[in-house]
Structure 1
Amino acid sequence: MMAGGIYFMEASFAAKGFYAMAAIMLVHTSITITKTLPDSEEASRFINRLEDAKTEKLLMEVSRSNEV
């Protein structure tokens, strides 16, 4: 639909090219953001799990040393 609008627009070839590149960049950016946001959220969850595991291990070591 966007391509048809750009093709039939009464403007110079340079203006049509500019609008076409802008449309392509808009789609590319939307796809990139859609893929990046879940990846960053998942990475933060993984980091939190690592920190929680390290804390749990430290607490277990401390509790074991207090028992002895």
Structure 2
Amino acid sequence: MSKPVQPTMTAAYYAQCVISFAVALGSVGIGIVFLPVNPWVRAFLAVAVLYTVTSAFGLAKCVRDRQEAANTASRVDQARLDKLLSEHDPFKVDNL
């Protein structure tokens, strides 16, 4: 049996994700700094953005963990099936 192909992440894709995140967070930060409102409103918006970012990281970790758990269970089931198939001899005659 062949192994399932695991998707690989290239360095360019990783760099693109990091740069995209930095640009998005930086632009929101700059927008909050230059917003013509009371400093308390700016502080509230800054905390709200930081909370949103940390929640997004937490959600991404939960999704990743669930996917890894499903893949692990699938691999265990596949290993059991492979073992059963390798031990099965269709030409074996049972002597009763």
- Fold-level similarity (TM above 0.5): yes
Q: CA deviation at 1:42?
A: 2.1
Q: Cα deviation per residue 1:32-64 (whole Å; 9 max; x = unaligned)? A: 1111112023224445666898xxxxxxxxxxx
Alignment coverage as a number of residue pairs: 65
CA RMSD of aligned residues (A): 2.8
Q: CA deviation at 1:2?
A: 0.7
Greater percentage in helix: 1
Greater RCO (CA < 8 Å, at least 6 residues apart): 2
1:37 equivalent in structure 2: 63
Q: CA deviation at 1:16?
A: 0.3
1:2 equivalent in structure 2: 28
The normalised TM-score by structure 1 is 0.61
The normalised TM-score by structure 2 is 0.47
CA distance in 2, matches of 1:49, 1:7: 50
Q: In the alignment, residue 28 of structure 1 is paired with which amino acid?
A: T
1:56 equivalent in structure 2: none
Runs of at least 5 residues in structure 1 that lack an aligned partner in the other structure: 54-66
